[in-house]
């Protein structure tokens, strides 16, 4: 069932890329088959001539070169914009080869049927493309017909256009419906993906987010920033007493307040991860060590002023710089700083570099 859900402007590029990735196999093979099947009409050329149509061999089979080109470059096509240009090019190549062939045919009446078939090729290729791109690419089919008529002079030119118009409108409507239907699929996938990496209680990330921020071939953080990454590890002080005294619902509420305080202090580009229980890890992206310490101190100060409705809470925080190593080593170092803070008075921020040897 098609809903009225709309893709937010900020998500539009990701939506079109997702749609392309999902349907690209359909569009790729449609593009290949369109030009490949065009060569089979050489048989009809021979039927029209009544003998081997040597004049149309080159026009019909000239499409082999573009096919080979697409087969070679296809695996390198990542962007839907590049894919749209290349895949939509192939129905036009098939049309140009057909028009080239028609020049040599003694009977050109069958051009009308051939051009009608091309609408379905554009429909199939358009499955992976934004509807706005399709309007342009498919609309150029009319330009192919009109321009080629200047020297071919089709006997059924008017009929070609009047038959083509409703087919064009029908294809556009079908692809519009397809795009709207895929919106539901896309939004559902985003919700599933978001829920799989999100802690349901606090709204922070869970540890599964690491699959997105770690390199695939080795356990180091992806690092596209010119500045450094600073890692914080936070732990609520004496949280067990809260649960034992006021119950787990009160404890859950305090965890939510803590996460909310952290998120209001750090940037949207930073990663807040519920590491386990009352422990959180924060990756500060693009911070110097001193900036990281100042942010940690601000979090600590804000937490101590939070109105919990029961009793004041405090948090101990460990801070360390990420040096590009295995992230497990960074977690070990920041964990060491955190427990030094807890063992030496709690409610404080400790840098890993401040710990005595």
Catalytic residue numbers read 278
Residue 233, φ and ψ in degrees, nearest 5? -125, 125
**DSSP 8-state code for residue 322:** E
Please tell me the distance from the alpha carbon of residue 308 to that of residue 303, in angstroms, as a whole number: 10
Tally of CB atoms within 10 A around 75: 7
- Residue (of 209, 190, 187) closest to 273 by Cα position: 209
Please tell me the distance from the alpha carbon of residue 121 to that of residue 248, in angstroms, as a whole number: 61
Query: 102 with 111: CB under 8 angstroms?
Result: yes
Distance of CA 231 to the CA centre of its chain: 27
* Dihedral (Cα; 280, 282, 288, 289), 10-degree rounding: 10
Q: Please list the alpha-helical segments (H only) found in the chain.
A: 12-38, 42-49, 57-61, 64-73, 80-102, 111-125, 131-152, 157-196, 210-213, 239-246, 248-265, 289-304, 327-343
């Amino acid at each position: 069932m098609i809903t009225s859900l709309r893709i937010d402007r900020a998500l539009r590029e990701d939506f079109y890329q997702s749609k392309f990735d999902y349907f690209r196999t359909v569009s790729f093979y449609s593009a290949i088959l369109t030009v490949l099947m065009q060569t089979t009409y050489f048989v009809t050329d021979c039927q029209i001539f009544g003998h081997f149509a040597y004049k149309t061999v080159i026009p019909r089979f000239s499409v082999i070169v573009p096919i080979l080109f697409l087969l070679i470059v296809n695996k390198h096509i990542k962007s839907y914009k590049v894919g749209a240009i290349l895949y939509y090019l192939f129905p036009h190549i098939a049309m140009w080869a057909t028009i080239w062939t028609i020049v040599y045919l003694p009977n050109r009446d069958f051009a009308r049927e051939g051009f009608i078939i091309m609408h379905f090729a554009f429909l199939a290729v358009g499955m992976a493309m934004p509807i706005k791109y399709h309007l342009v690419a498919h609309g150029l089919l009319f330009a192919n017909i009109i321009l080629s008529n200047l020297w071919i002079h089709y006997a059924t030119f008017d009929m070609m256009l009047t038959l083509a118009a409703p087919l064009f409108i029908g294809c556009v409507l079908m692809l519009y419906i397809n795009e709207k239907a895929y919106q539901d699929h896309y939004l559902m996938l985003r919700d599933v993906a978001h829920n799989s990496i999100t802690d349901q209680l606090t709204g922070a990330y869970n540890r599964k987010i690491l699959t997105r921020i770690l390199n695939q071939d080795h356990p180091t953080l992806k690092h596209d920033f010119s500045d450094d990454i600073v890692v914080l590890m936070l732990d609520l002080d004496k949280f067990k007493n809260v649960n034992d005294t006021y119950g787990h619902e009160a404890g859950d509420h305090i965890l939510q307040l803590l996460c909310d305080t952290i998120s209001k202090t750090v940037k949207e580009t930073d990663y807040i991860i519920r590491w386990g229980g009352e422990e959180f890890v924060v990756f500060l992206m693009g911070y110097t060590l001193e900036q990281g310490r100042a942010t940690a101190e601000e979090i600590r100060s804000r937490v101590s002023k939070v109105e919990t409705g029961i009793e004041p809470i405090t948090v101990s925080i460990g801070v360390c710089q990420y040096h590009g190593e295995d992230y497990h080593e960074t977690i070990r170092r920041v964990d060491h700083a955190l427990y030094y803070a807890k063992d030496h008075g709690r409610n404080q921020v400790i840098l890993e570099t401040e710990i005595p040897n």
